[in-house]
Amino acid sequence: MPQTALDLNAEGCKSYRPQVAPAAHTARWQRAVKVAEQMAALLRDKYQASRVVAFGSLTDQQAFTRWSDIDLAAWGIPQRHFFRAVGDVTGVSAEFSVDLVDAKSCSGPMIRRIEQEGMDV
C-alpha cells in the first residue's frame, strides 16, 4: 500500500531528503561567503554603503543548503540608488541569488535579528 509523508517516521523521511556530500556543502558555503564579500565591496565602493551584513542561512554553515541564497542588509546607500544597487549585486553571481534589504527600512524585529545573527562582510 502506498505511503504518504504523514505515514513516514523520522527515519523514513531521511531517505527523501537530498543529501549533500560534506565537502561539496562546505565548498558551496565558502563560495557563497566569497560572493557575499564581493557584493559588499561593490556596495561600499560604488554606492557608499557604510555597513553590509550577511544574515540568514549564510551565517550558519550547517543551515546553508544547495537552495540557499545570500541575504544582505546594507546601511547608507542613498535611497535614489538602492534599486540600481540591487540590480548590480544580482549580477555578481550566476550561482547564487541575492536578497538585498535597506537596513533603515527593516521592521524592528527584522533589524534586531540582523544585528543579533548577522555577520559583517
**What CATH number did the domain enclosing 115 receive?**
3.30.460.10
As a whole number, mean pLDDT of residues 8-34 equals: 75
The answer to whether residue 85 sits within a structural domain is yes
User: What is the per-residue pLDDT for 106?
Assistant: 94
The whole domain housing 45 covers 18-120
| Percentage of the chain exceeding pLDDT 70 | 84
The answer to whether residue 86 sits within a structural domain is yes
Report how many domains make up the chain: 1
The answer to whether residue 66 sits within a structural domain is yes
Q: Give this prediction's pTM.
A: 0.80
User: What is the per-residue pLDDT for 21?
Assistant: 58
The answer to whether residue 72 sits within a structural domain is yes
Distances 64 to 34, 55, 107, 114 between C-alpha atoms, Å: 14, 11, 24, 16
As a whole number, mean pLDDT of residues 83-105 equals: 96
As a whole number, mean pLDDT of residues 49-66 equals: 94
What backbone phi and psi angles, to 5 degrees, belong to 39?
Answer: -65, -40
Q: What is the mean pLDDT of the chain?
A: 90
The answer to whether residue 110 sits within a structural domain is yes
User: What is the per-residue pLDDT for 18?
Assistant: 54
The answer to whether residue 6 sits within a structural domain is no
Task: List, for residues 59-91, the tens digit of each pLDDT value.
Answer: 999 889 989 999 999 999 999 999 999 999 999
